[in-house]
Amino acid sequence: STGPLIVSFGEMLIDFVPTVSGVSLAEAPGFLKAPGGAPANVAIAVARLGGHAAFVGKLGDDEFGHMLAGILGENGVSTKGINFDLGARTALAFVTLRADGEREFMFYRNPSADMLLTPEELNLELIRSAKVFHYGSISLIVEPCRSAHLKAMEAAKEAGALLSYDPNLRLPLWPSPAEAREQIMSIWDKAEVIKVSDNELEFLTGSDKIDDAAALSLWHPNLKLLLVTLGEKGCRYYTKNFHGQVDAFNVKAVDTTGAGDAFVGALLSKIVDDQSVIEDEPRLREVLKFSNACGAITTIKKGAIPALPTTSEVLTFVKG
């Protein structure tokens, strides 16, 4: 695609998911490789919808790193912003939903290549050509990735990009909840579009009520659009002038991994063409209906990346 560019900054990794469901990691007889990482999912979501996307981040110069770069390329995502670290390996996550309903995680990140991206390595030419710059790396906490994250945001902003943020809170990665909250809030007030899940809203406000007051307590002057995703209930939206809810589509969800990333990719692919939709409630609601559809479709199929829809799939789905 040659349309306006969306750059998605952060990590890409491989989730190893047990070949049978409902077991602990220790009990798993084997694992399937599921490529993921929220920022990479968002880039692929945009490209599937026909948009112009680039992924910026670092991978290991190993079999997994090259496999991931290959997946981005095959999906039409520009890989010009990818660096390969010659020493560190690609991040890996082992994830399972146990029979007792608890999610169990184990990460290979000690440190992984994504955490080692330096500000000097950034492809600033690519970043400065972005119309929308999306971020939300789980490596925000560690240097040198933190400095790279901040420099990329600043370069994109200076060049006139709209900044979009998804905190992608994965608590097990942070030393403590207090530190997670502090790190997230340290870049909160730079973003013009923010998407949080209902769980993240609860965590960030410290309140167990997910209502308008809780959402609006997180408002800041640079913000143009705040979205709270509510899974099977859809999403709520907040702007300077109005707020409301767009209900979800009714589907039989089998795997919700990547639904939030599909939602964000869909939203950004519309905003990048015309930012004025943010100020026009009827048009914004149409965009969010499209985003909800992309999220819903992603839950019908297993996996994140394999489930991300094309525009024609979305249109067929919406017509029902």
Q: How far is the CB of 290 from ligand ADP (least distance, A)?
A: 10
Question: Which SS3 state, helix, strand or coil, does residue 110 take?
Answer: coil
Instruction: Give first-to-last CA distance, the chain, whole Å.
Output: 28
Provide the 10 A C-beta neighbour count for residue 151.
17
- Chain residues in the site for ligand ADP (CB under 6 A): 197, 229-232, 234-235, 248-249, 251, 253, 256, 259-260, 263, 292, 295-296, 299
Cα–Cα distance for residue pair 139/256, rounded to 1 Å: 23
Q: How far is the CB of 302 from ligand ADP (least distance, A)?
A: 14
What sign results for the dihedral spanned by CA atoms 198, 201, 206, 211? negative
Which of 114, 247, 261, 280 is an active site residue? 261
- Residue 262, CB-side half-sphere exposure with 13 Å CA sphere: 30
Question: Measured from the CB atom, is 35 or 144 closer to ligand ADP?
Answer: 35
Q: How far is the CB of 231 from ligand ADP (least distance, A)?
A: 4
Question: Measured from the CB atom, is 269 or 292 closer to ligand ADP?
Answer: 292
Q: How far is the CB of 201 from ligand ADP (least distance, A)?
A: 11
Q: Which helix (H) or strand (E) holds 296?
A: helix 281-300
Question: Measured from the CB atom, is 123 or 164 closer to ligand ADP?
Answer: 164
DSSP string across 118-154 = -GGG--HHHHHTEEEEEE--TTTTSTTHHHHHHHHHH
The answer to whether 13 and 108 are in contact (CB under 8 A) is no
Question: Measured from the CB atom, is 35 or 260 closer to ligand ADP?
Answer: 260
Q: Per DSSP, what are the bridge partners of residue 259?
A: none
Q: Is 208 a catalytic residue?
A: no
Q: How far is the CB of 288 from ligand ADP (least distance, A)?
A: 8
Question: Measured from the CB atom, is 65 or 167 closer to ligand ADP?
Answer: 167
How many helices (H) and strands (E) the chain has is answered by: 10, 13
Enter the tokens of residue 199. Answer: 């769980």
Cα–Cα distance for residue pair 279/297, rounded to 1 Å: 27
Give the residue numbers marked as catalytic.
Answer: 261
